[in-house]
Chain A
Amino acid sequence: MRRTVILAVVAALGAGLLAGCAEDSEEPGAGSAGGAGGAKGRTTITVGVFGAFGLKEAGLYDEYMKLHKNIEIKQTSIERNENYYPQLLTHLGSGSGLADIQAVEVNNIAEITTTQADKLVDLGKTEGVSKDSFLPWKWAQATNKDGKTIGLGTDIGPQGICYRKDLFAKAGLPTDREAVGKLWAGDWNKYLAAGKQYKAKAPKGTTFVDSASGVMAAITGSSAKRFYDESGEVVYKTNPAVKDAFDTAAAFATEGLSGKLQQFTPAWDQGYANGTFATVSCPAWMLGYIQDKAGPAGKDKWDVAPAPKPSNWGGSFLIVPEAGKNKTEAAKLAAWLTAPEQQAKLFEKRGSFPSAQAAYSLPAVSGAKHEYFGNAPIGQIFSQAAEGIPVLIVGPKDLVIAQNLADVGMLQVGQKGKSPQEGWDAAVKAIDNALDQ
């Protein structure tokens, strides 16, 4: 009796293992035509993304499959880019385990473009891809020196300033979004001045901004040259734009205008839920996040105004590895997914702002209003911001530099009460250590 039980268990475990293996061997880069489950003659294209990327959620895969009966699209997602990106690099290095299409975050695109171009398909030559429909700087970011375009832009992150009307009213500031925009138009220092004005009559327990590092990200995103110069040299230490951004943002902390929160942490989410800060620099993709975290209680309290200067924060690209089995079909799909019409749909459903400027005139974008944000004409606000964004120079280690400036430098000023100079020095030390091979 006992023996049969054991045998049964062993058999079950064995079967489980085998099944597991079978699944595993099929999953990574399952690009093979007509996978086990697929119908006859169907090509399966896999897409690897990080987070809730939105392509699937917006129904774009379903639409493509309806248009192309011979194509089946499967998506694998890894929640955080910090886990997704190193894995992508190892897979590119070994030439295996890759999906047919992979997503890349803007902070990583320069590293991919400079170090991995020979492993990727030149999407600039794909049928149906038109350089002119993309913002020039977005196109340039994924194009290497030989003119090979390895990535097609999906969304970008033009920024506005999201603000709480109720808190503004209590502090005696205007609440109409045009008047609010005029408060700080053209100059980040005016934003600081508005903060001081807010603080004078601030409702108890609230601050003007959530965090100094959010302000810094917004300011650095508004200058063409940030951490690298045109020739690819690291210049963040000597570039006045970066130091000025750091000092201006640090002033928010030292003046007591910041809620001393770290972005994308539970405490930050609680800040939204409890309405403890009045403004936040918000790229288009952040509106959905605010709506989620502030909940129904925040409805008709939040609104969005133009930022002092046009600035970009975030955005992504799609790349097609050479190692994939369905390169041509994958490139076609990538081209379709990033075409203006599809980017407009992605904006309509998910709030990811198009990097294809040809999409801005489409009604889905130009007429877009956000109900939660007091019916703000977000299509217009973010289109204007997007067109004013300078041609950003991106470098391979942008992410590491930006992260250390925020999570070491600005956090020391914002949360530990150190002087801006001390914070800057600590960040520089950490960055130099990180960049040193």
Chain B
Amino acid sequence: MASDIPAAAPSQGEEGAAPAQPSPTVDTAAAERRRARRSRWYRRDVRWSPYAFVAPFFVFFAAFGLFPLLYTGWASLHRVELTAPTDMEWVGLRNFSRLLEDEFFWNALKNTFTIGVISTVPQLLIALGIAHLLNYRLRTSMFFRVAALTPYATSVAAATLVFVLLFGRDYGMINWALGLAGIDPVDWQNGEWTSQIAVSTIVIWRWTGYNALIYLAAMQAIPNDLYESAALDGASRWQQFVHVTVPSLRPTILFTCVVSTIGATQLFGEPLLFNGGAGATGGADHQFQTLGLYLYEQGWVNLHLGRASAIAWTMFLILLVIGAVNWLLVRRLRKSA
């Protein structure tokens, strides 16, 4: 495309100059000027058009990404209530310093971490296994691939509502199955671990297929010769998986780890809806209140925008730390590889 323009532009210029030919002396100067103007315009065009083409992204980013980020930071330094959002009172770092002694915040942070671990780790392991299976030549493999992705396409709200019924204390299907095995019904929602496991189950169910497809894509890029030579050396399927597949997938695994960690840190919909109609408390003992839920509770239930903004920024900083740790890990691994 870019090579078209220089070819087209001069010929256009010549065409434009053609009618002026009868009086050459005056018009060569004019044509010269016109040409100079054209080439200036052309240069400007080449120089600035790309910016114009990418501008929409930056405009939208500024309006819906950067401005909210900065404004949230500004609000976090104030006492602001949703009842009077323009009425801001400067409090410095008070909103942040109070988080240090806010046991609900620490509780939410701890829950976010534990739910993150018990959802992300099994999820990625299962995804790896599923991807490995899908990578075999199967009949109707397309069907299985689509099936793996369906949970991801389901809305969080719909999925969670179904899981709430499954995990119900009195009439839940899971307790019914446990009952068949002679185990007493579990009050999933009210136990600390049981509720966190239940929330993690929803996350695992929803995201495993998505990660499996990412792994599958990466696996298909692994050259077949590696497996052939491994097979010639007498490596079993399992040994091939451990010594060929996993090392080749390392960058992909790291990518999914980062994405899942970010997702886990922002976990919100599942715990909110798992609480039935009871709002953002995350259970009677706040046993599954995540940072996202606590932020929502402060901002939109208690209407303290300043405090909510401080939590939002703290979450942002936590994500930056996670990103930095990940970056160090990647460097380490690259060196060792």
Contact = CB atoms under 8 A, between A and B. Distances in A.
Interface of A: 82, 86, 89-90, 93-94, 111, 115-116, 260, 262-267, 270-271, 274, 276, 396, 400, 403-404, 407-408, 411-412, 415-416, 426, 430, 433-435, 437
Contacts of A116: 83
B162 to A, nearest CB: 10
Interface residues of B, number: 34
A266 B162 CA distance: 10
Nearest to B280: A82
Interface string B215-245: 0000000000000000000000000000000
B276 A262 contact: yes
Contact of A266 (B79, B83, B165): B165
A260 B85 CA distance: 39
A434 B83 contact: no
B84 A82 contact: no
A407 B83 contact: no
Contacts of A90: 82, 85
B171 interface: yes
Contacts of A404: 281
Nearest to B187: A415
Interface of B: 79, 81-86, 102, 104, 161, 164-165, 168-171, 187, 190, 276-279, 281, 284-286, 297, 300-304, 306-307
A396 B165 CA distance: 35
Contacts of B303: 86, 89
A266 B168 contact: yes
B173 to A, nearest CB: 12
Contacts of A274: 171
Contacts, number: 89
Contact of A267 (B82, B102, B168, B300): B168
Given A267-B168, A415-B190, A433-B104, A115 B83 contact: yes
14 contacts: A89-B85, A93-B86, A264-B277, A265-B277, A266-B276, A404-B281, A407-B279, A411-B284, A412-B284, A415-B187, A430-B104, A437-B79, A437-B306, A437-B307
A283 B300 CA distance: 27
Contacts of B304: 437
Given A86-B303, A115-B84, A433-B102, A264 B285 contact: no
Contacts of A426: 285
Contacts of B284: 407-408, 411-412, 415-416
A123 B81 CA distance: 26
B281 A270 contact: no
A430 B281 CA distance: 9
A87 B191 CA distance: 33
Nearest to A276: B170
Nearest to A412: B284
Closest 10 CB pairs of A and B: A265-B276, A411-B284, A264-B277, A115-B83, A93-B85, A434-B302, A407-B278, A86-B300, A412-B284, A415-B190
Contacts of B307: 437
B190 A267 contact: no
A267 B281 contact: no
Residue of A407, A426, A430 with highest tally of chain B CB at under 10 A: A407
B169 A93 contact: no
A201 B300 CA distance: 46
B276 A437 contact: no
Contacts of B277: 262-265
Given A86-B300, A426-B285, A262 B278 contact: yes
Given A265-B277, A407-B278, A270 B300 contact: no
A415 B187 CA distance: 9
Contacts of B187: 415
Contacts of B170: 267, 270-271, 276
Contacts of B301: 82, 400, 403, 434
Contacts of B306: 437
A264 B275 CA distance: 11
Contacts of A400: 301-302
A266 B170 CA distance: 11
Nearest to B82: A89
B281 A437 contact: no
Contacts of B168: 266-267, 270
Contacts of B190: 415-416
Nearest to A274: B171
Nearest to B191: A416
A435 B304 CA distance: 9
Nearest to B304: A437
Contacts of B276: 262, 264-267
A408 B82 contact: no
A267 B164 CA distance: 9
A193 B83 CA distance: 44
Contacts of A93: 82-86
Given A416-B284, A416-B285, A426-B285, A265 B165 contact: no
B81 to A, nearest CB: 7
A267 B171 contact: yes
Nearest to A406: B278
